[in-house]
Amino acid sequence: MSGFLLAQSPRAVDDGAAVVRALLMKQAEDWNAGKLDAFLEAYWHSPDLVFQSGGTRTQGFEAVRERYIKLYKSEGREMGKLIFDDLEVRALGEEYVSAIGRWVVTRTDQSKATGRFTLVVKRFPEGWRIILDHTSVGP
């Protein structure tokens, strides 16, 4: 017999997608409560985490955290209210899930920032974590 079979339970695959969907909803809740560090818990706390946006690549959890602080918390900046919509979460086996969608941040002055994102999420012993985030800004 050539090749190999990847044995995976359909339930385990479906559960991964459901858990990641819940993880993203928790991220939005944390963001909306102004809890940036809780929002960042969804990310892989590793120097190998990758965040790409606006032609810039940010490598490592601490660098990603500093990027978020600079853009959304420093100098009195307002985090605003975050929603994810147009969300598609797909299991890529038992260990990986992809998520694509649109994000919208609305501030108290009703100004909005919006864009699209693609995430790769991996299962670790401590839970599912975002290992790659590619986010664009725009309509």
> How many other CB atoms are found less than 10 A from the CB of residue 80?
19
pLDDT of the chain, 139 residues: tens digit per residue: 334 333 344 444 458 899 999 999 999 999 999 999 999 999 999 999 999 998 999 999 999 999 999 988 877 778 999 999 999 999 998 899 999 999 999 988 888 999 999 999 999 999 999 999 999 988 6
pTM of the model: 0.86
Residue 119: C-alpha distances to residues 25, 33, 34, 78 (Å): 14, 22, 22, 24
Residue tagged 């939005």 (tokens)? 28
Query: What are the chain's domains?
Result: 10-135 (3.10.450.50)
